[in-house]
């Protein structure tokens, strides 16, 4: 079988290699084997290849925080999953044609779900939801501001916020993103520049802005912080700029802005297995209700992993880059 390995941390498209390895073998009693149908290339996977992610395993290492797969074999004690089930894998190292994992690490999906969408279910949808739920209690009519608003997390946050009557100010790098975001239900779209505070001020007309969601970091953090009301929370969950956060001390000292960090794993770690399963069930129902699909720009074969990862790093692509390791999905 084929899998992707990183032999040295560095430029992602240069360090990933698709290699032939031994098959995963047959499952033990409490294990399952799945054929990976698709995985997305997420910003965290790119950071992983660079050696800049929070996990930096000894090399060679296989990236891949999420995937969707079809169960092809189950161990003799397994009753929760059966051959043919479509599943997402909660374990990592998914850039491979097959995975063998404990049966309690997969979540069975409803038959009929779009496998390409399911490949992107594990990380971004719960991230968008928990960012909106876990830091500030928001009620109908409240405002929230986010940058990288045209990312898939950002688009999901817009949909979710709109369904709850929460109003969104969406900050992006280019006006090209505005039509898509307005169509999703964005209340306001703005460009991230030196005029941001004044523009947000005009939008709010005295209303509070108690939550900011930052996936860019660097100087963007300071701009987002300046838009918030005193005592508001600014949650950093990504660093697309690659730069260290900058923020004026006065934001914390005088204006009492609360800086928080978010990483999905930490939030899932404290949930029971049952709650994790019910969370994904609720998310699938939400996505169905919203009739929302995360845009996909291109699907690559696993042999072209270098080209796929280079594509995923281009700016302003119109959707996620997926890889289908076992051929067409």
* Exposure string over 302-317, b if 16+ CB within 10 A, otherwise e: beebbebbbbbeeeee
Cβ closest to ligand NAP, residue 272 vs residue 315: 315
> Which residues inside 93-132 make contact with ligand NAP, applying CB under 6 A?
123-124, 127
Interaction mask 25-64, ligand NAP, x per CB under 6 A: -----------------xxx--------------------
Angstrom distance (rounded) from CA 22 to CA 79: 27
Cβ closest to ligand NAP, residue 98 vs residue 122: 122
Bridge pairing between strands 233-236 and 209-214 = parallel
Interface size with ligand NAP, residues (CB under 6 A): 25
- If binding is defined by CB under 6 A, does position 296 make contact with ligand NAP? no
Among 237, 280, 292, 300, binds ligand NAP (CB under 6 A): 237
Q: Please, what is the minimum distance in Å from the beta carbon of residue 272 to ligand NAP?
A: 19
Cβ closest to ligand NAP, residue 6 vs residue 158: 158
φ, ψ of residue 209 to 5 degrees: the values are -130, 95
Q: Which long-range contacts (C-beta less than 8 Å, at least 24 apart) are formed by 6-9?
A: 6/48, 6/49, 6/59, 6/60, 6/61, 6/62, 6/63, 7/59, 7/60, 8/59, 9/49, 9/50, 9/51, 9/56, 9/59
- If binding is defined by CB under 6 A, does position 279 make contact with ligand NAP? no
Give residue for tokens 């992610």.
53
* Stretch of 69-77, 182-190, 234-242, 246-254 contacting ligand NAP, by CB under 6 A: 234-242
Angstrom distance (rounded) from CA 272 to CA 279: 10
- If binding is defined by CB under 6 A, does position 160 make contact with ligand NAP? no
208 and 185 Cβ atoms separated by less than 8 Å: no
Q: Please, what is the minimum distance in Å from the beta carbon of residue 193 to ligand NAP?
A: 12
Cβ closest to ligand NAP, residue 103 vs residue 221: 221
From the CB of residue 250, how many other CB atoms can be counted at a distance below 10 Å? 11
Q: Please, what is the minimum distance in Å from the beta carbon of residue 280 to ligand NAP?
A: 15
Would you call 166 helix, strand, or coil by DSSP? coil
Distance from chain centroid for Cα 304: 22
- If binding is defined by CB under 6 A, does position 240 make contact with ligand NAP? yes
Among 216, 227, 284, 305, binds ligand NAP (CB under 6 A): 216
Angstrom distance (rounded) from CA 165 to CA 196: 23
- If binding is defined by CB under 6 A, does position 173 make contact with ligand NAP? yes
Angstrom distance (rounded) from CA 68 to CA 40: 10
Q: Which residue is nearest to ligand NAP (CB)?
A: 238
Give residue for tokens 């979710």.
160
- If binding is defined by CB under 6 A, does position 152 make contact with ligand NAP? yes
Q: Please, what is the minimum distance in Å from the beta carbon of residue 194 to ligand NAP?
A: 15
Active site residues: 53
Would you call 68 helix, strand, or coil by DSSP? strand
Among 73, 204, 264, 276, binds ligand NAP (CB under 6 A): 264
- If binding is defined by CB under 6 A, does position 199 make contact with ligand NAP? no
Q: Please, what is the minimum distance in Å from the beta carbon of residue 149 to ligand NAP?
A: 7
Interaction mask 132-151, ligand NAP, x per CB under 6 A: ----------------x-xx
From the CB of residue 162, how many other CB atoms can be counted at a distance below 10 Å? 16
Footprint of ligand NAP on this chain (CB under 6 A)? 42-44, 123-124, 127, 148, 150-153, 173-174, 215-216, 237-238, 240-241, 262-264, 315-316, 320
């Amino acid at each position: 079988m084929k899998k992707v390995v990183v032999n040295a941390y560095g430029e992602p498209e240069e360090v990933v290699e698709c290699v032939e390895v031994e098959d995963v073998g047959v499952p033990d009693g409490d294990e399952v084997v799945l054929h990976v149908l698709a995985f997305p290339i997420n910003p965290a996977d790119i950071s992983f290849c660079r050696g800049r992610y929070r996990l930096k395993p000894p090399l060679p290492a296989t990236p891949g925080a999420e995937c969707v797969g079809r169960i092809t074999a189950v161990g003799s004690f397994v009753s929760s999953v059966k051959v043919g089930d479509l599943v997402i894998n909660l374990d990592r190292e998914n850039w491979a044609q097959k995975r063998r994992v404990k049966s309690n690490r997969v979540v069975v999906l409803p038959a009929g779900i779009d496998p390409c969408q399911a490949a992107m279910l594990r990380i971004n949808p719960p991230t968008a939801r928990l960012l909106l739920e876990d830091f500030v209690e928001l009620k109908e009519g409240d405002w929230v501001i986010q940058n990288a608003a045209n990312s898939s997390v950002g688009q999901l946050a817009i949909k979710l916020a709109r369904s709850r009557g929460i109003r969104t100010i969406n900050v992006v790098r280019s006006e090209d993103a505005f039509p898509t975001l307005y169509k999703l239900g964005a209340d306001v779209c703005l460009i991230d520049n030196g005029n941001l505070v004044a523009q947000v001020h005009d939008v709010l007309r005295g209303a509070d802005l108690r939550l900011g969601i930052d996936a860019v970091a660097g100087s963007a953090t300071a701009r987002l912080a300046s838009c918030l009301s005193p005592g508001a929370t600014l949650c950093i969950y990504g660093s697309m700029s690659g730069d260290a956060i900058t923020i004026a001390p006065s934001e914390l000292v005088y204006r009492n802005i609360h800086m928080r960090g978010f990483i999905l794993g930490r939030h899932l770690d404290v949930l029971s297995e049952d709650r994790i399963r019910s969370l994904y069930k609720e998310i699938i129902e939400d996505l169905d209700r919203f009739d929302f699909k995360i845009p996909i720009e291109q699907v690559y074969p696993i042999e072209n992993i270098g080209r796929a990862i280079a594509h995923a790093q281009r700016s302003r692509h119109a959707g996620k880059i997926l890889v289908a390791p076992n051929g067409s999905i």
